[in-house]
């Protein structure tokens, strides 16, 4: 049957860089004839800063959907998650006015677009043939589904999918979770040491119980025991010698998915915070795609239950900072976002980023902020320097990571102002930066 055989490189690159480029939605269409059909990028729509997801959905439908021609849309539905490209909604628009062959072509080409998503277990899908199918309520119903793609790939029974969907609803509602996880005999002792601060960090892994034999270690698409005969995963703990998120990011992180529970003292208040990290690396060495998808899905679905097991060990519930990471630097950046979201200071903006106010920057804490003094500048000078000092990081030695401190950024801006002053003194010409002339009287005011 007819379907697209190739994927345009521009489309795949657009999906990978969608969040960094602030792209909200991508429209894909099939071009070419028999034997050379290619799924290509037709157009894309930039996200509207500060707009609600419902408004973004309606804007994408209005601007990208042609009532007569079928197409595929890939909508970014993530908001403040720190995993790049973590949540997507794939929309297959198959109008009744199109021919049956054309509709079948796009229906069978959906898998090529789905394979471009970096985190496939967070992918949702919506099929629509009329305007009612493109309503916001239909999109919400599609985004609430959890097991559609998983059940189609693994061939599991509907009862397994219903259990997973019920577990997700309990996780989102914050209620008590009862799921298929068996706690190891040593888990309680490890959690007790974490509560008493005898150990600062634990690595939590879900392993298959050996007592059930080889059939318990099933993978999607494999035969074996039925759902009632499979042993639930065993939750085990291992001590990690890390006291802060930065130390954890620099430690030897595993190549497979796991959880980290890091108990750290809040420097601004005398209470303990629990930093719960869901580690899902981008690449898993030595494992095929089906096994990796199964393990990643299991950790994603059971994340809420594992967190409840950890919290049950604390006599007084700590403040929970949840972090999703697939790269080591995501751990520190995600902790910054979680701290700011919990404190109510500009959620979603990394601490120390351009535009963050100085009084919101923690002096010393989980992410090991540098102790260098912060030079004060007026708002005009700060906007001129801090916007562009990261572009000259290779010259000034500053960092360009999202959680680079404001002190380093302002020191880089001071170096740029000094450079402008020297250029003017020796050449009798004003230094022209990215924003215009930086004259000597402005430089003296800042230095």
CB distance 69 to 98 below 8 Å: yes
Looking at residue 287, its pLDDT comes to 59
* CA–CA separation, 195 and 263 (whole Å): 8
Report the interhelical angle of 158-173 vs 303-312 (nearest 10°): 50
Looking at residue 2, its pLDDT comes to 74
Find, among 63, 116, 51, the residue nearest to 90 by Cα: 116
Using DSSP bridges, classify how beta strands 201-207 and 436-438 pair: parallel, antiparallel or unpaired. unpaired
Residues 6+ positions from 325 with CB-CB distance below 8 Å: 82, 83, 277, 278, 279, 280, 331, 334
Task: Give the C-alpha distances (Å, rounded to integers) separating 218 from 209, 229, 232, 263.
Answer: 12, 11, 12, 34
* CA–CA separation, 274 and 272 (whole Å): 7
Find, among 166, 167, 155, 147, the residue nearest to 226 by Cα: 155
* CA–CA separation, 226 and 268 (whole Å): 52
CB distance 75 to 47 below 8 Å: no
Looking at residue 32, its pLDDT comes to 86
* CA–CA separation, 71 and 340 (whole Å): 39
Looking at residue 120, its pLDDT comes to 74
Give the residue extent of every domain in the chain. 6-145, 182-221+231-343, 370-446
What residue ranges of the chain have pLDDT lower than 70? 1, 79-86, 145-179, 209-230, 266-271, 283-288, 344-447
CB distance 94 to 103 below 8 Å: yes
What ranges in 17-74 are assigned the alpha helix state H? 53-64
Looking at residue 56, its pLDDT comes to 92
State phi, psi for 329 to the nearest 5 degrees: -70, -20
* CA–CA separation, 281 and 252 (whole Å): 12
What is the DSSP code string of 308-326? HHHHHT-SSPPEEEEEEES
Task: Give the C-alpha distances (Å, rounded to integers) separating 250 from 136, 242, 329.
Answer: 43, 9, 9
Using DSSP bridges, classify how beta strands 71-76 and 88-93 pair: parallel, antiparallel or unpaired. antiparallel
Looking at residue 176, its pLDDT comes to 45
Looking at residue 4, its pLDDT comes to 84
State phi, psi for 202 to the nearest 5 degrees: -125, 140
Taken in order 48, 53, 57, 62, is the CA torsion positive or negative? Answer: negative
Q: Regarding the domain with residue range 182-221+231-343, which homologous superfamily does it belong to in the CATH classification?
A: Severin (3.40.20.10)
Q: What is the CATH number of domain 6-145?
A: 3.40.20.10
Domains 6-145 and 182-221+231-343 are alike in CATH topology: yes
The residue whose two tokens read 């090529």 is 112
CB distance 312 to 184 below 8 Å: no
Task: Give the C-alpha distances (Å, rounded to integers) separating 347 from 15, 79, 91, 416.
Answer: 25, 10, 29, 30
């Amino acid at each position: 049957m007819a379907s697209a055989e190739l994927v345009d490189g521009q489309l795949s690159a657009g999906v990978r860089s969608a969040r960094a480029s602030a792209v909200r939605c991508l429209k894909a269409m099939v071009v070419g004839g028999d034997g050379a059909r290619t799924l290509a990028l037709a157009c894309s729509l930039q996200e509207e800063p500060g707009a609600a997801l419902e408004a973004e959905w309606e804007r994408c439908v209005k601007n990208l959907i042609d009532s007569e021609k079928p197409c595929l849309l890939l909508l970014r539905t993530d908001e403040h998650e720190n995993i790049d490209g973590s949540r997507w909604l794939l929309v297959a628009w198959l109008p009744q006015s199109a021919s049956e062959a054309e509709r079948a072509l796009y229906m069978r080409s959906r898998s090529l677009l789905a394979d471009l998503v970096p985190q496939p277990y967070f992918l949702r899908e919506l099929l629509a043939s009329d305007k009612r199918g493109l309503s916001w309520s239909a999109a919400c119903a599609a985004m609430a589904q959890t097991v559609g793609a998983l059940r189609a790939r693994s061939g599991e029974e509907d009862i397994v999918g219903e259990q997973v969907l019920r577990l997700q609803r309990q996780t989102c509602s914050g209620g008590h979770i009862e799921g298929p996880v068996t706690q190891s005999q040593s888990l309680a002792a490890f959690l007790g040491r974490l509560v008493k601060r005898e150990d600062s960090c634990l690595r939590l892994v879900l392993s298959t119980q050996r007592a059930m034999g080889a059939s318990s270690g099933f993978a999607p698409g494999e035969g074996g025991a039925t759902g009632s005969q499979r042993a639930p995963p065993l939750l085990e703990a291992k001590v990690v010698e890390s006291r802060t998120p930065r130390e954890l990011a620099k430690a030897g992180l595993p190549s497979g998915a796991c959880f980290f529970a890091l108990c750290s003292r809040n420097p601004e208040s005398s209470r303990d915070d629990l930093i719960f990290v869901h580690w899902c690396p981008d690449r898993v060495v030595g494992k095929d795609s089906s096994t990796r998808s199964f393990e990643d899905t299991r950790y994603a679905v059971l994340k809420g239950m594992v967190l409840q097991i950890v919290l049950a060990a604390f006599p007084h519930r700590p403040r929970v900072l949840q972090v999703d990471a697939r790269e080591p630097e995501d751990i520190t950046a995600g902790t910054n976002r979680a701290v700011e979201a919990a404190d109510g200071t500009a959620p979603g903006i990394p601490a120390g980023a351009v535009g963050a106010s100085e009084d919101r920057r923690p002096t010393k804490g989980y992410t090991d902020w540098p102790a260098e003094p912060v030079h004060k500048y007026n708002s005009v000078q700060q906007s001129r320097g801090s916007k562009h000092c990261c572009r000259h990081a290779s010259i000034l030695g500053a960092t360009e990571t999202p959680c680079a401190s404001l002190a380093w950024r302002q020191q880089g801006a001071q170096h740029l102002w000094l450079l402008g002053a020297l250029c003017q003194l020796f050449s009798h010409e004003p230094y022209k930066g990215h924003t215009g002339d930086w004259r000597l009287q402005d430089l003296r005011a800042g230095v």
